[in-house]
Amino acid sequence: MPWAKARAATILAEFEKAESELVGKAVALTDGKAGTVENVWLDEFHGLRIAIRGHEGKWPVSTIKMAEQGSARQTEQANQGKSEG
């Protein structure tokens, strides 16, 4: 495989890995916006960018201040269980 094709394949594999790790996760950004990651893009000018459900726009992944370990749905279910008990 030519080196350019190999590098492109590596980039796409890393993008898919980042996408699977971020989509559906609860995050807070450094500017105070928080929510669930809805989509991930690879922007040629800014790198990896994310969209947060309920907020218009796309933000650099570098602005993530906190990310939940589980999915946002798992976090919501856990929080509901705490308030019911």
CA atoms within 13 A on the CB side of 32: 0
19 CB neighbour count, 10 Å cutoff = 16
The predicted structure's pLDDT at residue 24: 93
**pLDDT recorded at residue 79:** 43
**Local confidence pLDDT in tens for the 85 residues of the chain:** 789 999 999 989 999 998 999 999 999 988 888 999 999 998 888 789 999 998 888 888 888 887 776 554 554 444 444 444 4
What pLDDT sits at residue 70?
Answer: 57
